[in-house]
Homo-oligomer: A and B are copies of this chain.
Amino acid sequence: MQEAYNELNEKLAELSDIGAAGALMGWDQQVNMPPGGAEARGRQMGTLGKIAHEKLIDSRVGELLEILKPFEEEKGYDSTEASIIRIARRGYDKAVDVPPSFTAKWQKVTSDSFEVWIKARPANDFKMVQSHLETNFDLCKEYADYFPGYEHPLDPMIDNHDFGMKASNIRSIFSELRKELVPVVEAITSQEPADDSFMHGHFDSAKQIEFGESIAKLYGYDFNRGRQDMAAHPFTISFAIGDVRITTRVLEDFLSSALFSTLHEAGHAMYEQGSDPAFDGTVLRGGTTIGVHESQSRLWENIVGRSKPFWGHHYPQLQEKFPDQFANVPLDRFYKGINKVERSLIRVESDEVTYNLHVMMRFAFECDVLDGKLAVEELPEAWKDRMESDIGARPPDDKDGVMQDIHWYNGIIGYFQGYTLGNIMSSQFYDAAVRAHPEIIDELGQGKYDTLHTWLKDNLYSHGSKYTAHEILKKATGQELNIGPYMNYLKTKYGELYEL
């Protein structure tokens, strides 16, 4: 039995190593690669993906997982051994149900679609990419058919990103959240918009990076086991527990971009760095679902990084770094500015309050298209209409409308919900940490993050992907997924800011 377990682990370590090589190729592509390397890199990453897939669906893996059933039971659900077997089985079962020919087609189709989107978006030409998007949604349905018994055709995709969730659960929690959010957005946006003009101006790149990294370090992101580089789109990527990297994008004329992206990515990265070191090279390394991952980036970016106590401590340092820009901006004005709520067009630039409405709209469109209620062709207009009715801002074009996000065009469908699930959970985790250690609030005002980080590490990060989102939420917070803490957070914070 122990032998079969060792054999399985060797196979999984091999997969993890190939995955790390592929991830490094992806990181390099966005951070370092000279333009001439693009063509070969695409082929090389495809080869690695193919080898990994072949090794994942190797029938010997299936045999080992079968052999190991009694061993798994004996060790018990919470043991590392049983967890490795359980998570490996989940991946194996899902992978073997899909024919390799589909996987190859999927890769080709979505990569072609991405290449077209790259050109169609700046040209504001949805027609150019429309048939590709139709194919992507069609293949999404075809994918679902490999998992008969699904409730909704989006479910098998959702399951890949937010294991254990279904369209029906998400619909129900989103409709609850929507009911609560809309009046808050209405109340705020009927007031005079906050002034954030001081975030625009000229900010030296090196100083921006220095400031952001100094906070990431204080948060507990370990630069001995990571580094920050520049990339067009900020992301976190992990090659091992000892090597978790972040990227950021610096705009010299807008301070928020690099600063808050660094805090956001540091949240993701601390989650990855915090895995039990014994999980390295196993399926348990790194975070569990997209939603839980996003809860950590949003917790450190927003709940901590846009809070009043945080800036009470760090604002004088920022003023010292950029005296020309901030000498005459008092803390209160700064705090209100970085938490400005507005009816805006672009999801990734939107504020904490309206952000979720952007997400819900995308999720609803995914369901509608797959349900046949909405044709891809109708998406551009539907997008504009819903932006107008939901957010109160009608996009003047498709470039900043239906074509703004890379996801669908790259075949990433059933993913957006994770961002809002993350927002909801961020407050659940944070509140639980504060319940356990009320001193966290005071510490934020002193630039100390150890107690919060340690609680998160012990109760969430160290478990890697051992538990589902549901399980870890219950374990860490004692609660089911619920919007109470998040709405409470928003209402308290913005109630005070806008005297609601």
Interface residues of A (CB under 8 A from B): 13-14, 17-18, 20-22, 24-25, 28, 32-41, 43-44, 46-48, 51, 222-227, 229, 239-243, 245, 280-281
- On whether the beta carbons of A47 and B227 are closer than 8 Å, the reply is no
Choose one: B38, B40, B46, B239; the contact of A44 (CB below 8 Å).
B239
- On whether the beta carbons of B47 and A13 are closer than 8 Å, the reply is yes
- On whether the beta carbons of B21 and A22 are closer than 8 Å, the reply is yes
- On whether the beta carbons of A243 and B48 are closer than 8 Å, the reply is no
Residues of B within 8 A of A32 (CB): 227, 229
Residues of B within 8 A of A46 (CB): 17
Copies of this protein in the complex? 2
Since A28-B28, A37-B239, A44-B239 are in contact, a sample of 8 more A-B pairs with Cβ atoms closer than 8 Å, ordered by chain A residue number, is A14-B47, A20-B40, A21-B24, A32-B227, A39-B242, A40-B239, A40-B243, A40-B280
- On whether the beta carbons of B51 and A243 are closer than 8 Å, the reply is no
Residues of B within 8 A of A18 (CB): 47-48, 51
Provide the bound-state CA to CA distance between A241 and B35, in Å: 12
Among A13, A20, A225: residue with most chain B CB under 10 A:
A20
Residues of B within 8 A of A225 (CB): 34-37
Provide the bound-state CA to CA distance between A438 and B22, in Å: 48
- On whether the beta carbons of A37 and B242 are closer than 8 Å, the reply is yes
Choose one: B33, B40, B223, B229; the contact of A281 (CB below 8 Å).
B40
A sample of 8 cross-chain residue pairs with beta-carbon separation below 8 angstroms, ordered by A number, consists of A14-B51, A17-B46, A18-B51, A20-B44, A21-B25, A28-B28, A36-B226, A40-B239
- On whether the beta carbons of A243 and B36 are closer than 8 Å, the reply is yes
- On whether the beta carbons of A17 and B34 are closer than 8 Å, the reply is no
- On whether the beta carbons of B48 and A21 are closer than 8 Å, the reply is yes
Provide the bound-state CA to CA distance between A222 and B36, in Å: 9
- On whether the beta carbons of B25 and A227 are closer than 8 Å, the reply is no
Provide the bound-state CA to CA distance between A25 and B243, in Å: 12
In the complex, the 6 A-B pairs of residues with the closest C-beta atoms, listed nearest first? A37-B243, A40-B240, A36-B225, A36-B242, A17-B47, A17-B44
